[in-house]
Amino acid sequence: MPYISLNPTTNKIVKTYNSWDSQHLATALEKAYNTQQIWRETAFAERSKRMNRAAMLLHEDVTEYAKLITVEIGKPLREACAEVEKCALTCRYYATHAKDFLQDEIIQTDASKSYVSYDPIGIVLGVMPWNFPFFQVIRFSAPALMAGNGCVLKHASNVPQCALALEKLFYDAEFPRYLFTTLMIEAADVVDAIANPHVQAVTFTGSEAAGRKIAAHAGQHLKKCVLELGGSDAFIVLKDADLEQATTFSVKSRFQNCGQSCIAAKRIIPVAEIADEFVSLFKAKTTELIIGDPMNESTQIGPMARLDLRNELHLQVTDSIAQGAQMALGCELATGEGAFYPPSILDQVTAQTRAYHEELFGPVATIIHAANEEEAIHIANDTRFGLGSSIWSHDAEHAEKVAQKIHAGCSFINGMVKSDPRLPFGGIKSSGFGRELSYHGIREFVNTKTVWIR
């Protein structure tokens, strides 16, 4: 199958690329490995210079990069620009801090000197999704390259232009050729890349189903693996919450990137005292979202990334309605060209519905009513996912206590879940394992080596 760049706003093919055969893959991995063997010896100052240059290029050409994202997945241009700027920030962050994060750690023992060093691990394979086609890649590659590793990327097959632009970005920033290589391989060939002796580790961001397969392959070949998988984050609104703020941010969290974000507020859980007012405000603000051509500056909701994903989402919605959920807004297939789906709300969602248990990866809000705080916590944890969570209350101290009872990789109080290069990011349970970003992220793909001197 070729890689197809198809614009979901028009459903027209923009470009196609042939995928590689196994010989092409083996040669590319060998070149990446040979390059990394030299790169691993470079000083941090050398690495930082190039990483800062990558940041500068991203910042200078932000609109051009953003347009690639908008063309390939329909993300509103404004959001695509913000994604590219966040990539620049992340590159600068690791250019500045990698050396400190990977300093030798002296440890007093019976030796005259003993310490831990953080050596490069080798070539890291990144298997990445389309929903943040630049940021997901930068999130693993900026720390990996700064740690002295090489990176090979198997990107989602609907974002080949973004994938190739990222390879060119690192080359233009004067990283050695092949140190970052985009592999134009198919999903079925990922197993060959994992098995290749030149690859030492794999980081995967994407669906739970594919994550299980990647983890099994990595396990079989004893390769270190980090998994960033799906989520169904709870957004708990307690009785003393600021409802203006809570509704503004729940709408933003649920509908940004047309609802296609792993950390979106996928299960909104208001407690009984404020539920009616919350739902009414939430619905009013959702109705105001501007739908249209994602290239327009004012557009807030563009198409979904692919028609098949939209149709899959609609099936989850119609099944949930048949199972008892109430259609509070939207929930009907848009007519016309493009993979558009209207911002929708499913209210009174219960454990008898698909929407309660499954990740809805599109612009559909699920509202689950809780009788009280205790039930809200129970519902929040009644999921196989464990990525993020958000709790809203005037009493931040009390909300912090609630957060301690939530089983997830992060809890945000009076704020929507978002990633930040300074903070670790990742999940538990079926949302995966391992962490990206902060010093935790850079230490995932290093050889934590003990040195002991008599």
Active site residues: 228, 262
444 binds ligand NAP per the rule CB under 6 A:
no
Written as one letter, the residue type at 385 is F
Give the number of residues in contact with ligand NAP, rule: CB under 6 A.
Answer: 29
Written as one letter, the residue type at 112 is S
Q: Which of 4, 56, 187, 295 binds ligand NAP (CB under 6 A)?
A: 187
214 binds ligand NAP per the rule CB under 6 A:
yes
Contact by Cβ (8 Å): 231, 394: no
Q: Which stretch binds ligand NAP (CB under 6 A): 107-115, 163-171, 225-233, 366-374?
A: 225-233
Q: Which stretch binds ligand NAP (CB under 6 A): 6-14, 93-101, 153-161, 291-299?
A: 153-161
Nearer to ligand NAP, 238 or 305 (CB): 305
Contact by Cβ (8 Å): 237, 276: no
Q: Which stretch binds ligand NAP (CB under 6 A): 203-211, 246-254, 292-300, 334-342?
A: 203-211
Q: Which of positions 100-119 make contact with ligand NAP (CB under 6 A)?
A: none
Q: Which stretch binds ligand NAP (CB under 6 A): 60-68, 115-123, 206-214, 442-450?
A: 206-214
We find the least distance from the C-beta atom of residue 299 to ligand NAP, in angstroms, to be 22
206 binds ligand NAP per the rule CB under 6 A:
yes
Q: Which of 262, 268, 365, 391 binds ligand NAP (CB under 6 A)?
A: 262
Contact by Cβ (8 Å): 407, 428: yes
Query: Locate tokens 């047309």: which residue?
Result: 258
C-alpha–C-alpha distance, residues 254 and 250, integer Å: 6
151 binds ligand NAP per the rule CB under 6 A:
no
Buried/exposed code over 312-330 (b: 16+ C-beta within 10 A; e: otherwise): ebbebbbebbeeebeebbb
C-alpha–C-alpha distance, residues 268 and 438, integer Å: 28
Residue facing ligand NAP at closest CB distance: 206
Q: Which of 36, 131, 200, 393 binds ligand NAP (CB under 6 A)?
A: 131
Q: Which stretch binds ligand NAP (CB under 6 A): 91-99, 115-123, 227-235, 284-292?
A: 227-235
Nearer to ligand NAP, 150 or 362 (CB): 362
Q: Which of 231, 294, 303, 343 binds ligand NAP (CB under 6 A)?
A: 231
Q: Which of 15, 31, 40, 213 binds ligand NAP (CB under 6 A)?
A: 213
We find the least distance from the C-beta atom of residue 410 to ligand NAP, in angstroms, to be 11
358 binds ligand NAP per the rule CB under 6 A:
no
Q: What is the dihedral of CA 295, 299, 305, 307, to 10 degrees?
A: -110
409 binds ligand NAP per the rule CB under 6 A:
no
We find the least distance from the C-beta atom of residue 279 to ligand NAP, in angstroms, to be 25
We find the least distance from the C-beta atom of residue 188 to ligand NAP, in angstroms, to be 7
Largest CA distance in the chain: 75
Contact by Cβ (8 Å): 14, 71: yes
Written as one letter, the residue type at 253 is S
We find the least distance from the C-beta atom of residue 429 to ligand NAP, in angstroms, to be 12
441 binds ligand NAP per the rule CB under 6 A:
no
Q: Which of 57, 66, 73, 128 binds ligand NAP (CB under 6 A)?
A: 128
We find the least distance from the C-beta atom of residue 29 to ligand NAP, in angstroms, to be 16
Q: For ligand NAP, what does the binding mask look like between residues 420 and 439, x meaning CB under 6 A?
A: -------x---x--------
Q: Which of 68, 124, 146, 190 binds ligand NAP (CB under 6 A)?
A: 190
We find the least distance from the C-beta atom of residue 126 to ligand NAP, in angstroms, to be 9
Q: Which of 97, 154, 198, 223 binds ligand NAP (CB under 6 A)?
A: 154
Contact by Cβ (8 Å): 266, 232: yes
347 binds ligand NAP per the rule CB under 6 A:
no
Burial of 288 (0-12, 13-18, 19+ CB in 10 A): exposed
Contact by Cβ (8 Å): 70, 84: no
| Residues that bind ligand NAP in the complex, under the rule CB under 6 A | 127-131, 136, 154-157, 186-187, 190, 205-207, 210, 213-214, 228-231, 262, 359, 361, 387, 427, 431
